[in-house]
Chains A and B, each alone.
Chain A
Amino acid sequence: MSIDTETAARVAKLARIRVEDDALPALAQEFSNILGFIEQLNEVDVEGVEPMVSVTPMRLKRRQDGVTDGNMQEKILSNAPDAREGFFAVPKVVE
């Protein structure tokens, strides 16, 4: 599967990563190379093989329903470029 520059631009936009127009062909080529590499896996016959989702012999760890965290507004907001009255303040988002 080959990725064209238009798709590369779209993926960049969805990921909110700015890519200058003249860098797009190279990026698209890189995507194509990665996909081509992965496509080799299609050659392996996995008919009837259950997908392996993890290499650790573990079950999903669970937690009891108890309040054990939170109550640290100051810390939560400490990295915010702007915070007011306990809220993160961000440039206006209008629907």
Chain B
Amino acid sequence: MSIEIIKPGLASSIQDKGREGHYHLGIPPSGGMDQRSLIAANLLVGNPEGAAVIECALMGPELRFDTTRKVAACGAEMTPRVNGEAQPLNEVFEVPAGSTLGFDFVKAGARLYLAIEGGIDVPERLGSRSTYALGSLGGMQGRTLQAGDTLALFQAHGQAVSGRHLPPSLVPEFSRQYQLRVMPGLYAHRLRAESETRFYSEDWVVASEADRIGYRMKGGTPLSFIEREPPFGAGDDPSNIVDACYPIGSIQVPSGSEPIILHRDAVSGGGYAMIGTVISADMDTVGQIQPHQKVRFVQVTLEEALAARAHYQKVLKQLRQMP
């Protein structure tokens, strides 16, 4: 009951909903960057919504199954193929024993979530099966998948039904340009007012350094900080602060030049000023943005962030109640 990795893809890793309660020691939550798609894939095949799946970034892996399993692929649009034959996204299909599952190039979105009936059987580390590669923790030996890896599977539960699919209203839509809602704050008061205004009025482009730790943005006007005498312990650059915690979703601007949005494998702290935080409801979206795509940052209030959060939870509820 296992699958063999023939080709690993670009950055495929085992993820679940992540781990909590260890960020104060530098261990970030990890877990699928697009939680909604991870949950959708698991629910389609009848798994618990937080079962371990394979997160496939931009270029999918090629897998050989030694046992017949039902699977579902949600998230980025990469057509799955069983022995070369195209299969639907967002719908349960069967991979017969001995056959190979691969994926076409990505058409839209950045990360696909492959749930396998029963789920992937790797040991829980600090309460989660998620991979945290920077800390060599969890998943497959603490790293992304490699050719030759064999992933054990839990017993199939027999509840997966081929053809079961997401209702069209719950299929995410991808784009080439995105709006990300941000609550300004943290060290935003250190920015010149005109610089902060411009940050929210320009297009930014996702750089090639966009991974599970963070998304670097370029193409906008560098940010400008108010002159000051450096506080003791902060460092001389105007963007330096006394090393502090970094919220997940926070946007830091080292030397003012290229903003970085931290994601679920975040470095937990450091000495760069953060100027705001992407709201929780938009973090899944960040994980689906490809390098070179455009982003606009939109200022919102806490009330707007909470309304967006409520809407996001409503979508999850609909997923949990789908027929």
Does B bind A?
Answer: no
Chain A interface residues toward B at CB < 8 A? none
Chain B interface residues toward A at CB < 8 A? none
